[in-house]
Homo-oligomer: A and B are copies of this chain.
Amino acid sequence: MTWWRCSIRRQRSVCAEPPPAVILAAGNGARLGVKMSKPLAPLLGQSLIERSLRTCVTVGVRQFVVVVGQLEEEVRAHLGMLAERLGVSIECVRAERWFLGNGASTLAAANEIGNRSFFLLMADHLLDPEILSNLLVDPPATGEVCLAVDHGGQQVFDLDDATKVRCVNGRLEGIGKDLDEWDGIDTGAFLCTPAIFAALEKAQDAGRYFLSHGIAELASGGLVRPVDVTGYRWLDVDTPEALAEAERRLLASLDKGRQDGFISRWINRPLSTRLSKYLVRTDVTPNQITVSSFLICLAASALLALGGYAAGVVAGVLIVAASVIDGCDGEVARLKAMVTARGAWLDTMLDRYADLAITVAIVTAYAKHFPGALPWLAGMVAVSGFILVSYVTKEFTLRHESAYPNDILDRVKHRDLRLLVLSVGAVTGFPFQALVLTGVFSHALVVSIMVRGWRRSLALTGAPG
């Protein structure tokens, strides 16, 4: 329902031709308390590594090098399936000495990467895609490495176990779990040049096998640039507690930052988030949810066209159900990092046709008992109003290059309010009256938004025609 903002941001990143990503997935799930390989641990219906891959795909990454070690075959099989599902290329390389430390694992990717720059990420870190976008804004110069750093230390989960960093004058000066003085946390997201490999080899020769040892090596030469990503969500899923926290945070994210209509906020959203929390653990995809909502609307339309009180009550309930479910597609997509332009595209267009079906059904039933032109004229007003109220804000966005503001008009124009009124009408035996009400109201909104757009364009161009 409100996806397009995300999709526009993603597209912009795609244009920048992002680098490949190296994902370290060699560790096991011992600390996490799972018997499987840690990258395969499930979180709200998706493995941790699928989430990592999807996060990268969101900013446009298409090529992956995944370093495997423990339970190699299991991970390889899972990655084979993911490569197909996501339409990306995934090379698996084995880190023979993964157990020594994640620096040793990183080195295993050196041949595959060659002399390209690359994202370096941990399979078990959840990252807001914006963290990767931030790294892309100002990529590392030759010989440098950029590290996403969170300076909001108090909010970091399991601070004791986190890797701290100290930054001075825009350069990393120190890194380690036991730094005495620190001002930020290593989020585990890097944008590297191949210089990291030489640094890791040097550290290894000194018997130091962790990634932070290689980073410290580069930092001593002033070659590590911290990128501030304070405020963006990330989490190192290392323990059962962290896994539970990850689930809690993901679900909590459904409840905020939305531009909902009034009905969504107080009725639909509380119901749909509950349903989404269930759906996200299943294999049901967001697009399947979208289509289900559409089919339920068609069923409600068939009942409405039949007419009669009983059919109206059932239709009313179905309409509310469809309206609630229509909110789940976006929620599940966000929870599973599966937000796509095509999902939003499908959702928007099917909504319009669902509205058309409901309108035609209500008018058909009413016209059986009250012949003449008037019911039909009302239907034509309603159907055009329902489409135009969505049309007018899209037109506004195109003309002004910014989304229509979330003002009172925006909040009452949403489809959820319209469907609720129609549903109440159907249940109480007055579907046609509800249709007339919503139809006239929609046109009033269209005209109000037209006037607003007219005034606003004056302010922008200063050249009245």
Contact = CB atoms under 8 A, between A and B. Distances in A.
Contacts of A359: 380
Interface in A287-344: 287, 333, 338, 340-344
A373 B446 CA distance: 28
Contacts of A367: 373, 376
Contacts of A340: 457, 461, 463-465
B450 A345 contact: yes
Contacts of A14: 460
Interface stretch (A31-39, A193-201, A381-389): A381-389
Contact of A376 (B356, B379, B391, B453): B379
A88 to B, nearest CB: 6
Contact of A364 (B86, B338, B377, B458): B377
A380 B399 contact: no
B387 A457 contact: no
Nearest to A85: B464
Contacts of A384: 352, 356, 383-384, 387
B377 A380 contact: no
A260 to B, nearest CB: 19
Given A395-B349, A395-B394, A400 B341 contact: yes
Given A395-B394, A461-B10, A462-B86, A346 B383 contact: no
Given A376-B367, A453-B342, A87 B399 contact: no
Contacts of A242: none
Interface residues of A, number: 69
A207 interface: no
**From A85, A287, A340, residue with most partner B Cβ within 10 Å:** A340
B462 A87 contact: yes
Interface in A194-238: none
A325 to B, nearest CB: 15
Contact of A341 (B58, B62, B383, B457): B457
A contact face: mostly helix, strand, loop, or mixed: helix
Nearest to A376: B376
Nearest to A460: B341
Contacts of A363: 376, 380
Contacts of A10: 461
B364 A465 contact: no
Interface string A342-366: 1111101100100010011001100
A388 B86 contact: no
Nearest to A4: B398
Contacts of A450: 345-346, 349
Nearest to A391: B391
A399 B457 contact: no
Interface string A27-67: 00000000000000000000000000010011000100000
A8 B401 contact: yes
Interface string A145-173: 00000000000000000000000000000
A463 B364 CA distance: 41
A397 B391 CA distance: 13
Contact of A465 (B333, B380, B464, B465): B333
Given A54-B463, A359-B380, A363-B380, 12 more contacts: A85-B464, A285-B465, A340-B465, A341-B399, A341-B457, A342-B461, A345-B453, A346-B450, A352-B388, A364-B373, A390-B391, A394-B398
Interface of A: 4, 7-8, 10-12, 14, 54, 57-58, 62, 85-88, 285-287, 333, 338, 340-346, 348-349, 352, 356, 359-360, 363-364, 367, 371, 373, 376-377, 379-380, 383-384, 387-388, 390-392, 394-401, 446, 450, 453-454, 457-458, 460-465
